[in-house]
Copies of this chain bind each other. A is one copy, B any other.
Amino acid sequence: MIAWGVDKAPSRGPSRGLSHDRIVSAAMEIADRDGLPAVTMQAVAKSLGFTTMSLYRYVSNKDELMTLMQDAAMRGLAELPSEGGWEDRLRTWAEGIREDYRRHPWALDIPHGQASVLMPNSVRVADLGMAAMEELPLPDDVKIAVILTLSELTMSMTSLELSLATEGGVRLTSDETERLGTVITEERFPHIARLFQAGGFVVEPQSPPVDDGTPTDDSAPADTNVDDEFVFALELVFGGIRSLL
């Protein structure tokens, strides 16, 4: 309940300036700069000029700090366009979430427990999602399922994108490609070996020359970039929603 600010701030007694906000901000700065593993209690305390143990007065353990960080990371999504249809609104909603995770990639690595669903920003984002679908004549539980589906999808795709980006894409040395080629064969993997050998199994983080293949079974496989995958996945879900109406 710390996150909601209902625990009245103890304004009595000596306070040398530590606070929940400062601790969470310091932790986020470290995570942004050096990644989540660099966020140790000692590192956070040190960056604030306090001892490690001082943090435990504000946060009961590291997990709680992580949950606070995660929620704080999701503050980018503000308002949805009042014009346009539900597709436009859901798209900007999903893209807002995506932006937040891109800004704070480490947030994707913090496990989503029960607590995180009831954090302020989670509730706010869910509320915005429901607002985006206001015009749709669907029962509330279906809308919640849609929100859940879209946000999970957004997280997964962003996670994939970021892990590929930091590793420079699934690009192998020609030696590795060759060795893998001896093992990924038509006999063993009849449906995908061809794609692998053509390089189509490779996913790029950035936007390469995009090919939009015509719907033919034997079209040449192309490099795929995650941004396209994300847009495609969204449209897939939108198509599903439309088929419900």
Contact = CB atoms under 8 A, between A and B. Distances in A.
Interface of A: 1, 4, 6, 109, 111-114, 117-118, 120, 123-124, 126-128, 130-131, 134, 137-142, 144-146, 148-149, 152-153, 155-157, 159-160, 163-164, 167, 169-170, 172, 176, 179-180, 182-184, 189-193, 195-196, 200-201, 203, 211, 213-217, 219, 221-222, 224, 228-229, 232-233, 235-244
A67 to B, nearest CB: 12
A109 B4 CA distance: 28
A152 B149 contact: no
Contacts of A156: 152-153, 155-156
A170 B118 contact: yes
B139 A189 contact: no
Q: Is the interface of A mostly helix, strand, loop or mixed?
A: helix
A229 B127 contact: no
Given A130-B192, A232-B145, A243 B241 contact: no
Nearest to A120: B183
A213 B113 contact: no
A244 B239 contact: yes
B189 A124 contact: yes
Contact of A152 (B4, B120, B153): B153
Contact of A127 (B124, B164, B189): B189
A114 B167 contact: yes
A180 B118 contact: yes
A163 to B, nearest CB: 6
A213 B4 contact: no
A127 to B, nearest CB: 4
Nearest first, the 8 A-B pairs at minimum CB distance are A236-B240, A239-B240, A152-B156, A139-B213, A130-B191, A239-B243, A127-B189, A127-B192
